[in-house]
Amino acid sequence: MNVPVQPGQQDRYTVLDTAPRRLRDFLLSWDVILVILFVLTIVVNSLVSPYFLDVYNLADATSNFSEKAIIALGMALLILVRDIDLSVAAIVALASMGIGYAAEAGWSPTMLFAVGLGIGLLCGVFNGALVTRFRLPSIVVTIGTMSLFRGLTQVILGDQALRSYPQGFLDLGQSYFIPMTETGIPWLFIPPVPLSFLVFLVLALIFGIVLHRTAVGRQLFAIGSNPVAARFSGVPVNRLRFLLFGLSGMLSGLAGALLTARLGSMRSNIAVGWELDIVTMVILGGVSIAGGVGSILGVFLAVLVLGLVTFGMALNNIPGQVISVYIGALLIAVISIPRIFERLRAWRAGR
Amino acid sequence: MSDPVLTLTAVSKSFPGVRALHDVSLSLQSGRVTALIGENGAGKSTIVKILTGIYRPDSGEIHVGGAARHFSSPRDAWAAGIAAIHQETVMFDELTVAENIFMGHMPVAATGGVDWSRMRARAADLLERIDAPIPPGLPLKRLSVAQKHLVEIARALSHEAQVVIMDEPTAALSANEIDDLFRIVEQLKAEGHAVVFISHKFDEIFRIADDFVCLRDGEKVGEGPVASVTEAELVRMMVGRPVDQVFPKRDVPIGDVVLSVEGLSNATEYADISFDLRKGEILGLYGLVGAGRTEAMQGLFGITPTTRGRVTLEGRPLAVASPADAIAAGISYVPEDRQDQGAILSLGIRENVTLASLGQYVRGLFLSRPLEIDETRHLGRRLAVKASSWEQRLAELSGGNQQKVVIAKWLATRPKVIVLDEPTKGIDIGSKAAVHEFIGELAGEGLAVVLISSELPEVMGLADRLIVMKEGRIVEEFQRGRWSAEAIVGAATGARRDAA
Amino acid sequence: MTSLIKSRELFLALILVIGVILIGSYDPVFVRWQNISDMLTETSVLFMLALAQMVVILTRGIDLSVAANLALSGFVAALVSQYYPGVPLALMIAAGVAVGLLLGMINGALVALLTIPPIVVTLGTLAVYRGMIIILAGGDQVNASEMGDVFQAFPKQTFLGLTTPIWIAIGVSILFWLFLNFTRTGRGLYAVGGNPLAARYCGISQGRQEFLAYSIAGAVSGLCGYLWVARYGVAYSEIASGYELTVIAACVIGGVSIGGGVGTVAGTLLGALFLGIVNTALPVLQISPFWQMAIAGAVILAAVVINARAEHRPDKLILPEARRLGRDSGLLRRVKA
């Protein structure tokens, strides 16, 4: 440390107010790695395909991952407190079905969103009650409710599809919420933004502020780091976990509404397999599955990286499952590499 | 006397900041029970861990049957014929009794598979030898604590152990079960095993032990045949130092009653806990480990539900359903288990200090980092926390500094009453003195303090008044100046009063 | 018999027997041998995968990649059959098992050596393994006409009235039973999951046990991959999609604790059988097969709620009166009498 001890100071030595920021730590931080990945993705993609850097294409690309990304925000908080919700995609299906039937009954677009949020909230509260009341592991509970929610959708819907929605509702999902706006300056314009991406941006900002700047956010980190000590410090551990499950359900309901509006039809297999994509986003975003570590910025960057990797590969006609090979490998590589270095360092130190 | 089965010669062991054992020698004879006595932190469990291969000594030698041995793992200790029965059982609840006895060295049949019938038969034999008719096929989780201890004894015998170490084996047992256990100890003795017996209860030591070794602050302060000493002499040996000089209690004017507890009880852990606590007063709460002190105070703090009792704070009745209620009312509890319940090791000092009082640093909707830093700096300096920055992770600090941060966290809640549960357990001597100094200071500022401690010099040095708990109840109250170490230990252990 | 069938298994078996009787009395077709044989054949893969998954869960892990592994190893076996029709059947199956084992070992190495949480590892490898099929085949699938006749005929053969998949499932179950109950390593799996610290004191290496568990799960997935592909006559990237969750459901219903260290072969087989019976019973009862998933979900939830042992902190018995009531053990007192 290079801070001089001032004479006459009452302490025997100085304790810095904030930890010294070292360039090396900064460069090796997760968020910076993600930014580098993000830039790489853009550079490689735009070199490979001339269609990549097209504002309309990019705007369309965002709607392909924004619904998942919205759910990922809630999932990030759950994983941060050592829980997980694997039923999110099933909640999307159940909410989407509720919206479909409500639409057939002639409800207004606003009410359709309310239906989605309401169904999502109910499902989430059900998860939360099982996990906190009965002290069950959330992974098992939500595997069960995933089956249950998806199953209920299948039971009610069978192999039908719901496809009559009010035009106002479809417009929300299928046209740009903010159209491309020229500002008069040739290089400055507001790009077209789909509603789902705008919702994600706003929510990400709110989640980031709540998690990193408020008392509740601090309490979530405390729960994830040491739930017992958190409880001893007066943190309402189970109440917060319960609320997070409710929140996760509600976000899934919201995503369900946005997805339904975008697709203009729904079947019981809507959003199948999303839970794994969403967990991947969160883990790649640097949220530790062991709890207590993570940032919304990381999740945000991971969402963009995954979204653009997927989009770029799709532009080059790479099939979806091959894309997921790269994403799966990316996930494992990003987690393994620091650990391999750690192992090497420990091995060298041990010699 | 025959050659010793096991000798420790000049063994020392240090941890960062703590000298756990210094130059301790002892020898164990076959067919004799040696009681290892001493206060908490005197070094007993360090000896157990060295003998069972969990710690390696910094210096000194271990000889078993005349040959020098080095243990680098628990298996080595087993191989040398040393086995321990731990205070908390380290076993497999879901597996059968026989498997628990033979895990790691199961008998194998000619086919290469585990020979269950032989394993069960051998387990039954071993259990038979100690007169414990526990069916070897029963899952361990169906057994009581006492029976699990018996299974551990059988496991020790399965290793052909010459030396059996029992670390407070009676802590969780009923009187009948203790009788049974002692019969088994007698039998082990008769079969020529050397037994190390650790207990805080003098009646047990006088009943079962042949020899004693007394430790204090990591050093051996006495040994010999039990028959040659009285309880009073043992107590004096354990406590040792002239306590009043070590922790000077400041003279503080004691004010009005702040906290009044009446008849606090729960179903199985404590009953009829009643006391008054005054402003500026330090109330010591002494008792053996497992006397229900921690449980009663956690009930008061809202961690566990209480079944009966009334709590009044500054004249107003108080209902506490959760720690948050207690904190809001002005009661703080610094838990005994620093690693699990007190500190959040992966977070920084600032985040730990402000965790229990987050509301104070909120401006508008957000936490104000400058306010947090101010508070952390203020308390951190008062407690002389040593760190490179106020954001350093707690995992990187020494135990003593971690404890100071935890205490700072509770002071930040501006409590009227603070309960300190074994605040100096497992921290270095320097930090210990600082914490003692600080406790006195707190009382001087008008805080009401409850000090739970198993270290007699600590409570005797600091407390204005002392209540002693035994088996979940308050058994005696002492005023400063009208107590003696012997009388206090006597009340806590149930030793004969005339011995004191 | 090493372990008496415990009450949980008995309870589950009872429910199954009652269920079968009720459904059988509604429609006797259900209990006809042909139907039962079909049901068992259909469920045989689930039996084996559930056992493999149980071994992983015993070590406090989870393997989400079993179904992806099944798809990839099945695909490789089908490719072997397509391009080398002359190769003996045993070698084709061995190819599937070998690929499965290799994939399992990759999981095991990542979990045991790098100590990455199992859910993260297998979430990643799940995507990789499935996608590898497309990369291998360029998006093509192997159809029944391209697979060899022997390759496809084997799972349809019967021996002593049972189809080969049932025989294989029986054989695999017996092997698991022997392994888990009669080997030191098998018991060590329970020890590692039940109390890792105590296991270390007994000289059992957690990493070694974990590596073994994922390898076993991989090999079994490979075997099941062959059976699946050969039986349904098609190999492509989507087969058994999402099946990993069905497999975990079978374990949970069968009483395997996600916390590790608890689970029996009998319980897991019954859990899988439960799902198998539900699937076959629905058409018999003229209930839409769409109910299948909802029922499975409800049963999983019921199973975990029933299995949940009271996890709250056990009260210590400190007061003398509480000790007299609670802890005086009959067993010890009998000694004195």
| Inter-chain CB proximity C293 and A147 less than 8 Å | yes
Strands (E), A44-200: 176-178, 181-182, 189-190, 193-194
| Inter-chain CB proximity A218 and B323 less than 8 Å | no
In this prediction, what percent of chain B has a pLDDT beyond 70?
93
> In this structure, what token pair is assigned to residue C250?
């079978």
* B194-209 residue pLDDT tens: 999 988 777 888 999 9
Lowest mean pLDDT among A21-25, A302-306, B52-56, B212-216: A21-25
Using CB atoms within 10 Å of the CB of residue B327, give its burial: 0 to 12 exposed, 13 to 18 middle, 19+ buried. buried
Q: What angle, 0 to 180 degrees and rounded to 10, lies between the N-to-C axes of helices C66-83 and C206-232?
A: 50
C2 part of a folded domain: no
* C317-331 residue pLDDT tens: 677 776 665 444 333
Mean of the pLDDT values across residues A212-221?
95
* A264-282 residue pLDDT tens: 999 999 998 898 889 989 9
CA distance B394 to A291: 17
In this prediction, what percent of chain C has a pLDDT beyond 90?
44
In this prediction, what percent of chain A has a pLDDT beyond 90?
57
Cβ contacts (< 8 Å) between A25 and chain B: which residues?
Answer: none
Predicted local confidence at residue C67, as pLDDT: 95
Predicted local confidence at residue C333, as pLDDT: 36
Predicted local confidence at residue B265, as pLDDT: 93
CA distance A241 to A77: 9
C226 part of a folded domain: yes
Mean of the pLDDT values across residues B122-137?
88
Chain C: give the shortest CA distance to residue A319, in Å: 8
Mean of the pLDDT values across residues A63-83?
95
Inter-residue contact C61 to C120 (CB < 8 Å): no
Q: What is the pTM of this model?
A: 0.85
The domains of chain A, with CATH numbers, are 23-180+190-350 (1.10.3470)
CA distance A42 to A34: 12
* B383-440 residue pLDDT tens: 888 888 899 999 888 778 899 999 999 999 999 999 999 988 767 666 777 888 889 8
In this prediction, what percent of chain B has a pLDDT beyond 90?
40
Q: Which of A81, A232, A235 to mutate to test the interface with B (most CBs of B within 10 A)?
A: A232
Given its phi and psi angles, is residue C88 left (phi above 0), alpha (psi -120 to 50 degrees) or beta?
beta
Q: Examine the pLDDT at C99 and tell me if it is beyond 70.
A: yes
* CATH dotted code for B243-499: 3.40.50.300
Q: Examine the pLDDT at B243 and tell me if it is beyond 70.
A: no
Structural domain harbouring C61: 7-336
pLDDT band at B253 (very low <50, low <70, confident <90, very high): confident
Strands (E), B279-330: 282-287, 308-313, 316-317
CATH number for C170: 1.10.3470
pLDDT band at C46 (very low <50, low <70, confident <90, very high): very high
* A6-20 residue pLDDT tens: 433 444 457 788 777
Lowest mean pLDDT among A35-39, A186-190, C66-70: A186-190
| Mean pLDDT estimate for chain C | 85
Lowest mean pLDDT among A222-226, A252-256, C167-171, C245-249: C245-249
Q: Examine the pLDDT at B97 and tell me if it is beyond 50.
A: yes
Sign of CA dihedral A58, A59, A63, A65: positive
CA distance C118 to C155: 33
CA distance B403 to B357: 17
C219 part of a folded domain: yes
The radius of gyration of chain A's CA atoms, rounded to the nearest angstrom, is 23
Q: Which chains touch C (3 or more CB pairs under 8 A)?
A: A, B
CATH 3.40.50.300 residue ranges for chain B: 6-239, 243-499
Q: Examine the pLDDT at B244 and tell me if it is beyond 70.
A: no
The domain total for chain C is: 1
Q: In what order do the strands lie in the sheet with B211-216?
A: B82-85, B163-167, B194-198, B33-37, B211-216, B219-225
Give the residue among A230, C74, C153 at the shortest CA–CA distance from B327.
A230
Predicted local confidence at residue A6, as pLDDT: 40
DSSP A261-307: HHHS-B-TTTTTTHHHHHHHHHHHTT--TTSS---HHHHHHHHHHHH
Q: List beta partners, residue C235.
A: C142
C1 part of a folded domain: no
| Inter-chain CB proximity B355 and A219 less than 8 Å | yes
Given its phi and psi angles, is residue C81 left (phi above 0), alpha (psi -120 to 50 degrees) or beta?
alpha
ipTM above 0.90, yes or no: no
* A223-245 residue pLDDT tens: 999 999 999 999 999 999 999 99
Using CB atoms within 10 Å of the CB of residue A274, give its burial: 0 to 12 exposed, 13 to 18 middle, 19+ buried. buried
Q: Strand, coil or helix: what is B67?
A: strand
Scanning A170-229 for CB atoms below 8 A from B yields: 209, 213-215, 218-219, 221-222, 225-226, 228-229
For residue B22, CA distances in Å to B43, B58, B346 come to 9, 10, 33
| Inter-chain CB proximity C198 and B92 less than 8 Å | yes
DSSP state of B355: G
- The half-sphere exposure of A273 on its side-chain side, counting CA atoms within 13 A, is 13
Q: Examine the pLDDT at B249 and tell me if it is beyond 70.
A: no
Predicted local confidence at residue B241, as pLDDT: 55
* B335-384 residue pLDDT tens: 988 888 999 999 999 999 999 999 999 998 899 999 999 999 999 998 88
Cβ contacts (< 8 Å) between B327 and chain A: which residues?
Answer: 233-234
Inter-residue contact C16 to C273 (CB < 8 Å): yes
User: At the topology level of CATH, where does B6-239 sit?
Assistant: Rossmann fold (3.40.50)
Per-residue exposure over B268-285, b if at least 16 CB sit within 10 Å of its own CB, e if not: bbbbebebbbbbbbbbbb
Scanning A309-328 for CB atoms below 8 A from C yields: 319, 321-328
Predicted local confidence at residue B87, as pLDDT: 67
Tokens 């430790």 belong to: B215
**CA angle in degrees (0–180, nearest 5) for C273-C277-C279:** 120
Of the two residues C239 and A345, the one the predictor is more confident about is C239
